[in-house]
Amino acid sequence: SFLTAVINSFFWNKKWVFKKETGVNFITFLVVTTIGLAINNFIVYLITTHVPHAFIASDKLWANIAKAFATGIAMFWNFTGYKLIVFKKTSSNTPS
């Protein structure tokens, strides 16, 4: 399911978000996205195992809060990685 989501995300980012028709490497996109997944999982692990949650009685609720926070961080990483690495703009006005 992860690979299906990545392929779908690649297509829509290429066609709609960044409007780039050529020069886009799927492998680079996959690497950036996989790093985002690792960041997400690592943050969830850190929060659920090392951050006390005295005011939240349910472990499941705490895990969901951790996942929501981690998803926001991973989304920031993914968008920044896509913009600066995968779909970076090429300069058409290069001075000579």
Coil/strand/helix, residue 28: helix
User: Could you read off the pLDDT of 18-41 as tens digits, one per residue?
Assistant: 888 777 789 999 999 999 999 999
What pLDDT does residue 15 have?
85
What is the SS3 assignment for 3-26? HHHHHHHHHHHHHHHCCCCCCCCH
Q: Which residue has the higher pLDDT, 57 or 44?
A: 44
Choose among 13, 91, 78: nearest CA to 39. Answer: 78
Q: How far apart are CA 44 and CA 62, in angstroms?
A: 10
Distance of CA 21 to the CA centre of its chain: 21
The domain ranges of the chain are: 36-88
State the pLDDT confidence band at 90, using cuts at 50, 70 and 90.
Answer: confident
